[in-house]
Amino acid sequence: MSKSLKQFIKYPILIVFSLIALYPIFLMFLSSVKPNLEILTSPLSFPKAFTLENYITVWEKVNFSSYVWNSVYVSALSIFFILFFSSLAAFYLSRYDFKWNAFILFFFMLGLMIPMKLAILPLYMMMLKLGLLNSLNSLIIVYIAGNVPFAVFVFYGFFRSLPKDLDQSARLDGCNEFQIYYKIILPLMRPSLAIVGIVNLIGVWNDFFYPLIFIHDDAKNTIPLGMLSLFGEYDTQWNLLFAGLSISSLPMIVAFLLASKQFIEGLTTGAVK
């Protein structure tokens, strides 16, 4: 009786919270297929006529395709290098004896505590000196630097839980150090790669602040910054804005759905007893 009651109570609560979380997203998609006037007159109603015109307009008129490309370029490279550098660094820190290991780890942890935005002025000066202002590469560098501490933190914890016997066994099986990382460790760390990847991807993809500071050229805008051009001083094109947001959130949703399996899957089961 109590078990079925628990189930009975559980589902309504879960449904209510799902609705609260999903409703804004639903509203965004809904508004993206309405004309601007209708959004202003009846913001919560269903569209009178379903139209994809907003999407076409935003893609053609607002230089949106280049925003998408810029976002993809920045995100892909940032995430790749964050995962690559952090996993190697954490692998070394957890597996090899070096007397400064504790200090290096502490240094990474320090990076978690200091808000990056405080460093914006020196960063700006630095990019200026390096000639990287108004370049997508400046964003990539900042994102890698800013997100490596968190990634190292997660990976370090993961490697600590991975038995050392696995790499020693691989060593006896004829692997060199990089092969141990590549053939044994990397396939096993897919769940934590997915976690770190998705968390960073969301942050980088949606970031508005750094592009605002570093990028001046409309052709080099990322999606969040590009959306700004739809806000006019007197008039905002809500319909195009929602269409643009819908397009930009789509990759996130897809990525999350793909990676969520890795979240749940415990890959190391059966490695050791």
Partner 1 sequence: MAELILEHIYKEFDKNVTAVSDFHLHIKDEEFIVFVGPSGCGKSTTLRMIAGLEEITSGSIYINGKRVNDVAPKDRDIAMVFQNYALYPHMTVYGNMAFGLKNRKFPKEEINRRVMNAARILGLEELLDRKPKALSGGQRQRVALGRAIVRDAQVFLMDEPLSNLDAKLRVQMRAEIAMLHQRLKTTTIYVTHDQTEAMTMATRLVVMKDGFIQQIGSPKEVYEHPENVFVGGFIGSPAMNFFEGIVHEGSFRIGDTRLSIPRSQMELLRGLGYIGKEAIIGIRPEHIEEAIVGTAGGNGSGTRSNVSIQVDVSELTGAETMVYSSLEGQKFVARLSAETAIRPGEHVNLAFVMDKVHFFDKETELRIRPVQKAAELVETS
Do 197 and 154 meet the contact criterion of CB atoms below 8 Å apart? Answer: no
Does 163 bind partner 1 (CB under 8 A)? Our answer is: yes
**Nearer to partner 1 among residue 53 and residue 173 (C-beta):** 173
Does 270 bind partner 1 (CB under 8 A)? Our answer is: yes
Binding residues among 185-204 for partner 1 as defined by CB under 8 A: 187-188
Please state the φ and ψ torsions of residue 48, each to the nearest 5 degrees.
-70, -40
Q: Quick one: residue 217, left, alpha or beta (phi over 0 = left, psi -120 to 50 = alpha)? A: beta
Cα gap 200→242, rounded to integer Å: 23
Does 165 bind partner 1 (CB under 8 A)? Our answer is: yes
SS3 232: coil
Residue 191 CA to its chain's centroid (Å): 15
Does 184 bind partner 1 (CB under 8 A)? Our answer is: yes
SS3 236: strand
CB of 82 to partner 1, least distance (A): 23
Binding residues among 10-69 for partner 1 as defined by CB under 8 A: none
Applying CB under 8 A, among 51, 66, 179, 206 the residue interacting with partner 1 is 179
| Adjacent-strand bridge partners of 231 | 236
Applying CB under 8 A, among 173, 231, 250, 258 the residue interacting with partner 1 is 173
Do 135 and 213 meet the contact criterion of CB atoms below 8 Å apart? Answer: no
Applying CB under 8 A, among 5, 174, 217, 234 the residue interacting with partner 1 is 174
Does 262 bind partner 1 (CB under 8 A)? Our answer is: no
CB of 96 to partner 1, least distance (A): 13
Does 95 bind partner 1 (CB under 8 A)? Our answer is: no
Do 124 and 213 meet the contact criterion of CB atoms below 8 Å apart? Answer: yes
The residues binding partner 1 (CB under 8 A) are: 163, 165-166, 168-175, 179, 184, 187-188, 267-273
